[in-house]
Structure 1
Amino acid sequence: MIFVTVGTQKFQFDRLFIELDKLVDSGKINEEIIAQIGFSKYKPRNYKSFEMVYLAQMDAFIDQASILITHGGTSSIIQGLKKGKKSASCTKTKKNMVNMWMIIR
């Protein structure tokens, strides 16, 4: 399972969730995805999403994940490192988003 989290700041990260939907549509991602989408306006079509999750649920999702994708928040990065997860931190710039999937694979 791939777990995606963008934190609780009042910023959207629609581009990330749109790109993940495209990767699922194209068959490049076959794994289950669960996403904490925060204040993003885009609602994913191909995977489960939650606006916010409680800390205990976030820990459980990270424990289950084979890959963790974060928005670059310190807490998310540290959790992934502590749990030994393959992780990618995405910036909100388009140039870096395009190559994100290639980096974590």
Structure 2
Amino acid sequence: MDPFDRLIKAMDEWVGKQATPLEVLAQIGTGSYRPTNLQFVDFLKPEEYRDAFERAEFIVSHAGTGSIITALENDKPMVIMPKRASLGEQRNEHQLATATRFKPSTLIQVAYDVDELYAILNEAAFNTEKKVFQPQAWPPDASLISFIRGFIQAGS
């Protein structure tokens, strides 16, 4: 919903530096940055989102609880980069708290800045000896997921 140009630009630049073409789809929302190295759409319809999500090897996202829960429920590896109020991307630092809460998951890697994002992406995409994402060993808190899902559904 809210733009996250810092993440979109970082992903676009990372994809542009790869020697081997990568299939990357970005949902950019209302952001002003327009990628040149990856496929993008402003918004995906729910069925398009589900299809893209299922086909993805792993997901790169802001630290939004809806995306995180969807990834955990589907055992889908994810890299999250929290939006920062200190950078004008959010009204408060709640995404930092969300990242901290979900960091124990072996399916989630947290990148707090672009350098960490690039390190995780390089490791995940090209290092065959070390698995960046492990099978889910940390069970997500079912009561937290239920509460958040109810909150989201009540708001829509």
- TM, length-normalised to structure 2: 0.55
Alignment RMSD (CA, Å): 2.0
Residue ranges of structure 2 left out of the alignment (5+ in a row): 88-111, 125-156
Task: Name the amino acid aligned to 2:29.
Answer: G
Q: Which residue of 2 aligns with 1:4?
A: none
Tell whether 2:115 aligns with 1:98: yes
Task: Name the amino acid aligned to 1:33.
Answer: V
Q: Which residue of 2 aligns with 1:14?
A: 5
Deviations 1:13-59 (CA, angstroms, capped at 9, x unpaired) = 11111111211222177421001101111111111111111111111
CA distance in 2, matches of 1:73, 1:57: 19
Q: CA deviation at 1:62?
A: 0.5
CA distance in 1, matches of 2:20, 2:28: 18
CA distance in 1, matches of 2:64, 2:58: 16
Asked whether the equivalents of residues 68 and 86 of structure 1 are also in contact (C-alpha less than 8 Å), the reply is yes
1:42 corresponds, among 33, 58, 61, to 33
Task: Name the amino acid aligned to 2:119.
Answer: M
Q: Which residue of 1 aligns with 2:43?
A: 52
Bigger helix fraction:
2
Q: Which residue of 1 aligns with 2:78?
A: 87
Q: Which runs of 4+ in 1 moved over 3 A?
A: none
Asked whether the equivalents of residues 3 and 31 of structure 2 are also in contact (C-alpha less than 8 Å), the reply is yes
- TM, length-normalised to structure 1: 0.79
Deviations 1:52-105 (CA, angstroms, capped at 9, x unpaired) = 111111111110000101111111011111111110111134852321132352
User: Percent identity among equivalent residues?
Assistant: 26
Asked whether the equivalents of residues 3 and 30 of structure 2 are also in contact (C-alpha less than 8 Å), the reply is yes
User: Comparing both chains, which one has the higher relative contact order based on Cα–Cα distances under 8 Å and sequence gaps of 6 or more?
Assistant: 1
Q: Aligned pair count?
A: 96
CA distance in 1, matches of 2:113, 2:20: 19
